[in-house]
Structure 1
C-alpha cells in the first residue's frame, strides 16, 4: 500500500487521519455554525465519526480522493481537515473541501493549509483544474478562495441539498497555469 503524504508548512502538519482523531473530528462536525455551509447536517453522536474516517482512508487507498488532518506542528491534535474529492482523472480536475475548528477562523490557518495542498494537487495528482463549490452566504470561504488565486465562475442554482432545503453553490476554480504564473 502506498504511504500517505505528509505536508508541512511554517505552523502546520497535514497528515493522515487516524481513529484517535475521532473526538476532535466530532467536535468540528457536530458544531452547528461550522456545519452551516458544509453540505451535511451536524453530527449528533461520536459513533458517527468512525465510518467517516474509514471512508476517507478507503477513498485514499482506492486513489479516489485524499483528506488530510490539519494539526499544529507543536501539537498533534486535529484542528480541521482538507482534501480533494470528486476527482475526475480523465478530465484532470477535482474539488477541494475543508473545515476548521471555529475557534481558529480568521487566523490564516486554512489559507496556510490550502496553499500546502494546491501544489500537491497540481504536481502529484496531475490536476489541471481545482474547483471549490461554496455557499454564497459562506463569506469566509469565498474570501479564502479569492485570496488564494481562485476565480469565481458562476452560480449553480439549488445545487446542494442539506439542512432540509436546497442551496446554491458558487463555483470557483484555479487552473494549473494560473497557479504557476
Structure 2
C-alpha cells in the first residue's frame, strides 16, 4: 500500500523527503485557494507530520505523486476526517498548477477510490469540495461519486460527494 501507480503517475507514501515539494505546492496561491489557503513552511511541516502519523495509525494516508519522468506532480490520498461530528474517510488531492486540466486528478482519484473501496474494503469515501471549485467537482463526478449535500466547513461553503462500496 506504500506505493501505487497509474498510467502516468507513480505514488509513494508521504515522507520527510517530500517536504520541499509540499512547501512549494502549498505556497502557490492558485493551488492553495481551495485547500485552506497558502501555508507557510512551518505549517506544511506540521501538516506532513500529522499525515505521516496518520499512516502509522491507520495503514493508509497521503501519497506524494510524481509523473513517470520523476517530476513532482502533487499529493493525494485517503484520510480520516471529522465532518459534522462524523468520522469519514476523505479522498484528497492537490496537483501542481502545470498539470491542471490534463486528467491527472481523475486518474489519481480513480486509483485511490479502487484502493479505498476494494483493497481497504472501506464502506464509503467522501470528497469535500469548495462549492466554487468546478474542476474538482467534475473529477469526483467522473469517478462516480454522487453529490450528497452542502455544508459549511471552516467558514467556506462546500459540497460533499460520496461513493459507496
TM-score, normalised via structure 2 length: 0.88
Which residue number corresponds to residue 49 of structure 2? 54
Compare CA radii of gyration and give the structure with the larger one.
1
Deviation, structure 1 residue 101: 0.6
CA distance in 1, matches of 2:44, 2:128: 23
Q: Which runs of 5+ in 2 are unaligned?
A: none
Contact 2:147 2:162 in 1 (8 A): yes
Change (3 A) 1:92 1:118: farther
- Cα distance in 2 for partners of 1:170, 1:57 equals 27
User: Deviation per CA, 1:127-176, whole angstroms, max 9, x where unpaired?
Assistant: 121111111100110111111111112211xx212xxxx11111111111
Q: Compute the displacement of 1:108 (Å).
A: 0.6
Matched, 1:72 2:101: no
Query: What residue in structure 1 maps to residue 91 of structure 2?
Result: 96
Q: For this pair of structures, how many residues does the alignment match?
A: 162
Match of 2:39 in 1: 43
Query: What are the ranges of 5 or more consecutive residues in structure 1 without an aligned counterpart?
Result: 177-181
CA shift, 1:61, in A, is 0.4
* Distance in 2 between residues matched to 1:37 and 1:175, nearest whole Å: 25
Specify which of 149, 161, 169 is matched with residue 158 of structure 2.
169
Backbone CA RMSD of aligned residues: 2.1
Match of 1:83 in 2: 77
After TM superposition, the score normalised by the length of structure 1 is: 0.81
Secondary structure (helix, strand or coil) at the match of 1:74 reads: coil
Q: Which runs of 4+ in 1 moved over 3 A?
A: none
Contact 1:70 1:81 in 2 (8 A): yes
Check the 8 A contact 2:149/2:159 in 1, yes or no: yes
Task: Report the Cα distance in structure 2 between the residues aligned to 1:82 and 1:135, rounded to whole angstroms.
Answer: 17
Q: Which residue of 2 aligns with 1:150?
A: 145
Distance 1:87 1:133 in 2: 10
Q: Is the alpha carbon distance of 1:102 and 1:122 closer, same or farther for their aligned partners in structure 2, counting shifts above 3 Å?
A: same
